[in-house]
Amino acid sequence: MADVPENAPEHCPGTGSEDAGKASACEGCPNKNVCTSLPKGPDPAIAEVGQKLSSVKHKIIILSGKGGVGKSTFTAHLAHGLASDEDKQVAVLDVDICGPSMPKILGVEGEQVHNSGSGWSPVYVSDNLAVMSIAFLLSGPDDAVIWRGPKKNGLIKQFLKDVDWGDVDYLVIDTPPGTSDEHLSVVQYLSEANVDGAVVITTPQEISLLDVRKEINFCQKVKLPIIGIVENMSGFVCPKCKTESQIFPPTTGGGEKLAKDFNLPFLGHLPLDPRIGKCCDEGKSYLTEVPDSPASQSFATIIDKIKDHCRKLRESRQSETGETSANMETS
């Protein structure tokens, strides 16, 4: 996939295309002369990223076209759940450049990133859980990132190419809302890295589903496989009496109906629980703090489905490359 410059016409072929600066859509475009002079063909960083992440067994992207549906909360707790197995190494990459929240949610706000000969070292939440975010590169937590697309894309490329993740079982990538710069960059640079797929997060109400349908359409257009759909904030469970109330009624069927409409797996419902927000504010794992709650049980079921998908996909890839079961690595 070729980069598309800002202010490009609707049918821009992209900067890496052989037609860059030459197509009919390029006439009148302010970027025409620049695109004509740029080197053509795929960005060499794509192969570099593929090589760099060859030591990462599974790559999972968390998506939603809608803001405020709980992508970062889900990302953090998916990472916590995967890292509950001490034999697994888990990493989180926060590519929400303008609204990075992973350091706060994971309890490592204010930490610093160190650079060495092997690249940037991520910040460790625990012995087997690491995170990288632009928040670690800012001078303060209230600093605004006021960047145009190319600069954001450049940082995402650097995160994927230059961070020294080491041998990792799962890399979970948290993305911002929408289907634009950050999403295109992630998909482009991971095109040779064997991404397992995306988990799409929604809430039950139609106003959320409208944007999530666009996200699914985005995945289909860029050929990003979808692991499944999660419906977050699916009812409120009282922490004391355990009674469930529908805060956001699924007027058109919610996430489960959406998954059925697109013939996608539905991974499960996650109920509202005020203790989830409290744990995120305090940088703690809700799964550890409230392990017997309905939400924790739902998280566990969803995480098991994601792990099972990744395991089956890895076995399929190994089978296709001619490896015998005796030589397969456990995932």
pLDDT in tens, 99-112: 999 999 999 999 98
Q: Which of 26-35, 83-92, 209-218 has the lowest mean pLDDT?
A: 26-35
Pairing of strands 168-174, 56-63: parallel
Give the per-residue pLDDT at 149.
Answer: 82
CA distance 133 to 109: 10
Give the per-residue pLDDT at 40.
Answer: 61
Per the structure block, which two tokens stand in for 95?
């590519």
Share of the chain above pLDDT 90, in %: 69
Average pLDDT, the chain: 89
Pick the CATH number of 46-327 from 3.30.390.50, 3.40.50.300, 3.40.50.2300, 3.30.70.890: 3.40.50.300
* CA terminus-to-terminus distance, the chain: 29
Residues 192 and 61: beta-carbon distance below 8 Å: no
How do the domains of the chain map onto residue ranges? 1-41, 46-327
CA distance 213 to 169: 30
Strands (DSSP E) along the chain, which ranges?
56-63, 90-94, 114-116, 119-121, 123-126, 129-133, 168-174, 197-202, 226-231, 236-237, 244-245, 266-269
